[in-house]
Amino acid sequence: MLSTPVLFVLFILEDEMVTRIRERISAWTFIPKGNGKPLQVMHYGLEKAEQNFDYYGNKSMLKLSEPLLATVVLYLSNVSRGGEILFRYSEPKNKIWSGCTKTNNILRPIKGNAILFFTRHLNASPDTGSSHARCPVLDGDMWYAVMSYFVRAIDEVSVESDGSDCIDEDDNCFQWAAIGECQRNPVYMIGSPDYYGTCRKSCNVC
């Protein structure tokens, strides 16, 4: 019998352990805690062998309105067969990356292990190499947690934003964007985890 995913969202204010986990992840990644969304704990049982999934319920995180910076996957259980992660567009290291049927144990989810991958280049452009698939669970079940980190602190971002905070702070922003400054000088133009960005509207990031 195939499973339906069950999603639990743990808010850090409700659980001291989650707070400690987030602090350790922040120390490991050098990303401020405030840039992360609440920890999501997911459980999957048996799935169809011909399907691939990602760690967000098949929603492309590269298409969200908020600039995603990095993802941390924490494996909470062992999986007898399946559940491996596959980066489909990254540079192949060997044949094990070609598909779920050709993977080996090095990609198998192991309790206590964690994976960190960044979804943006240093110039803030999306890194398509971070696009990934999660191989279906074929035997047993799978528990894991996901932490998503964004370019700006979460309390500064509104998912349902009406656009009123999407502004240029300099009259020259439109001209600078037209000559490519969004790509050449992304920290000043677009922003970073500790700087809001001067020309976010002209750079089309909000």
- Give the pLDDT score at 194: 54
The ranges assigned to domains in the chain are: 16-150, 172-203
Count CB atoms within 10 A of the CB of residue 46.
17
**pLDDT band for position 74 (cuts 50, 70, 90):** very high
- Give the pLDDT score at 59: 44
Q: Is the pLDDT of residue 79 over 50?
A: yes
How far apart (Å, rounded) are the C-alpha atoms in residues 99 and 86? Answer: 7
Query: Model-level pTM?
Result: 0.61
Considering only CA atoms, which of 173, 148, 167 is closest in space to residue 206?
167
CATH topology of domain 16-150: Jelly Rolls (2.60.120)
Structure tokens at 127: 């890194």
**pLDDT band for position 8 (cuts 50, 70, 90):** very low
CB 61 within 8 A of CB 174: no
pLDDT tens, position by position, 55-72: 444 444 444 456 788 989
Average pLDDT (8-13) is 44
pLDDT tens, position by position, 134-177: 788 888 888 888 888 988 887 644 444 445 567 888 888 888 88
Q: Is the pLDDT of residue 125 over 60?
A: yes
Q: Is the pLDDT of residue 196 over 80?
A: no
